[in-house]
Amino acid sequence: MNFALIGDDPAILPLIQQITDAPAHQLTHAVVVDPQLAERLPRTPPVVVVERWEDLLPIESIDAVIVCGSDKATIAASRQFVSNGRPILFLPRAAQGLEAIYELTLSRDESTASLIPIFFDRFDPQVAALKSFLDRNALGRILHLQVEAALAPADGSSDRALLSPEQVDERLLRDVELLRNLGGEYNQVTANHSKAGDSGLVMANVTLSAEGVPESSWSMKPTTGDPTWKLTIQGEIGSATLTADDGQDGRLQLAFGGENDETDIDDVDPTKSVALITHLERAIQGDSVRPNWTDLTRDFEIVEATHRSIARRRTIDLHFETTSERSVFKSQMTVAGCGLLVLTLFSLLGLLAAGALLDNRDPVQVNSESVGFVIDDGDFKPGSAKLTSSGRDHLASISKRLSQVPHSVLIAKGDDRELDNQRRDAVIARLQQSRSPNVERRTIIFELRGQTVSLLMRIARVVWVIPLVLFLTLQILLFVAKPSSERGSQQERDSQ
């Protein structure tokens, strides 16, 4: 496979070395800002270094893009390549932020591209050996996991060592992935920072817990000496310790101790671990492998939850749900539906108020219109007193109810008084055929008022209900034409 590199994070160099050592892979292109990183890229075969990431888009020979950086330009490049359908190998950094991760998730759901996180620790031989050891239940039931880290201050000062929040988040993001891998899924986060005014942090503590999962404790403090890192896993019948004496870049050392022969380190072969490049190759080919993008998202969510825990001074409950275009769409549709219901209610109240204020009709006209006893120009042929077919049907309907309804029959008054009288006589003659009482007295030539307002109100009533009808129709169509959920089901299985 041919890979391209975007970013200037030197932490990506171990992966570049694995790609260089693999005969079937090579790094062909790179977009780097740091000259020191450019100098450490492989010379054979030579890597083509370009100035802009846009120059890589038309190169079809690139099979996957490695992204290592937290600046806005790098994140924007990631979204563009995902939209372009290119697989992305993504090096997580806390500075990227949860919002950028969600945006990349949405871009992924809109395309067919793969977002593949790069977790070096999961594929460290010692971590793989420890995971295999725990899977064999050699320590018995796991009781507790504890990480203790000590790092030098960010500014390199030695007189008063203080941690920066960025240091804490970066180390926590890396360790959360390791704790989830070894301990399980956590849904409760409790965090506490000890601050030295506004200068920095003297201690950071995080507790991760969940039902049926051993509790994990994480702590970090500054040091003026060499940085240290230690993971201790305590089981019912033994313990395991993973250490890195020289911090993030050092090799991990694994040690076991227990009360029986099963906790012998010689039983574990670290060389049997899966290489990171092999895992990434399978992920690019579309195989369902862990860790996946859901794991990365949950790591960022836990780190973000520590900020809320510190701000609110309480334990934060996490409810994990894979962020996808579908879930966002459902949320938007829910908001739109609730908004339309409220809008429909207030529009109805507005229509009622407008009708009451603008209606200048006489009560006689209101009563006759309510039962359909109004004869207008549309019931007669133009300029005559002859009834149209619809007018005759209208009068037939009136005659059937005339004896049961006490309201008057109104004939719209026009400009020609003689024509109005002729129309009245024609209506009376037609109604008298039904032998209804007081036909002549109840048939009145009447000046109709509020016709324009009435027309506008009828239009407003239709417009008022159209948005709600369209929304409900759309919901029905979405339900009937629901797309295949195979992909969503696969993602849910991957996240479990």
Assign 263 a pLDDT band (cuts: 50, 70, 90).
Answer: very low
Q: pLDDT (tens digit, 9 = 90+) per residue, 382-392? A: 888 898 988 88
Give the CATH number of domain 122-272; options: 3.30.300.210, 1.10.10.10, 3.30.360.10, 3.20.20.10.
3.30.360.10
Domain boundaries, the chain: 2-118, 122-272, 327-357+453-495, 361-449
Q: Name the DSSP class of 489.
A: H
More confident call, 340 vs 5: 5
- Please give the order of strands across the beta sheet that includes 443-446: 374-375, 409-412, 443-446
For residue 288, pLDDT over 80 is answered with yes
Q: 253-258 and 238-244 as β-strands: parallel, antiparallel, unpaired?
A: antiparallel
Distance CA 390, CA 396 (A): 10
Average pLDDT of the chain?
Answer: 83
Q: If you count DSSP H runs as helices and E runs as strands, how many of each does the chain have, helices first?
A: 15, 17
Q: Is the pLDDT of residue 410 over 50?
A: yes
More confident residue, 377 or 295: 295
Task: Using the Cα atoms of residue 293, residue 295, residue 297 and residue 300 in order, give the sign of their dihedral.
Answer: negative
SS3 312: helix
pLDDT digits (tens, 9 = 90+) for 291-333: 999 999 999 999 999 999 999 899 998 875 555 556 666 777 7
Going by pLDDT thresholds of 50, 70 and 90, the confidence category of residue 186 is very high
Please tell me the number of Cα atoms within 13 Å of 462 on its side-chain side.
5
Q: Are 464 and 348 in contact (CB under 8 A)?
A: yes
Residue 479 to residue 458: CA distance in whole angstroms: 32
Q: What is the pLDDT of residue 258?
A: 54
d(CA 198, CA 140): 45
DSSP 195: E
Bridge partner residues of 380 (DSSP): 387
357-to-230, 349, 367, 457 alpha-carbon distances in Å:
78, 12, 18, 12
DSSP-derived secondary structure for 386-402: PBPHHHHHHHHHHHHHT
Tokens of 189: 């986060």
- Give percent of the chain with pLDDT exceeding 90: 30
Residue pLDDT, tens place only, 78-135: 999 998 888 999 999 999 999 999 999 988 888 888 999 999 988 888 898 899 888 8
Question: Look-up: residue for tokens 């067919």?
Answer: 112
Rounded Cα distance between 434 and 395, Å, is 10
Q: Are 286 and 486 in contact (CB under 8 A)?
A: no
Q: What is the DSSP letter of 153?
A: -
Q: Is the pLDDT reported for residue 405 higher than 80?
A: yes
Task: Tell me what pLDDT residue 334 has.
Answer: 79
Q: Which two tokens stand for residue 20?
A: 């260089």
User: What confidence category does residue 482 fall into, taking pLDDT thresholds of 50, 70 and 90?
Assistant: low
Q: With helix as H, strand as E and coil as C, how does 51-69 read? A: CCHHHHCCCCCCCEEEEEC
The pTM for the full model equals 0.64
- The CATH number of 2-118, from 3.40.50.720, 1.10.579.10, 1.20.1560.10, 3.40.50.1010, is 3.40.50.720
Q: Which amino acid is at 13?
A: L
Q: In Å, how far are 24, 134, 229, 240, 241 from 257, measured between CA atoms? A: 41, 13, 19, 6, 8
148, 120 contact by CB (below 8 A): no
User: Which segment, 17-26, 42-51, 203-212, 247-256, is predicted with the most confidence on average?
Assistant: 203-212
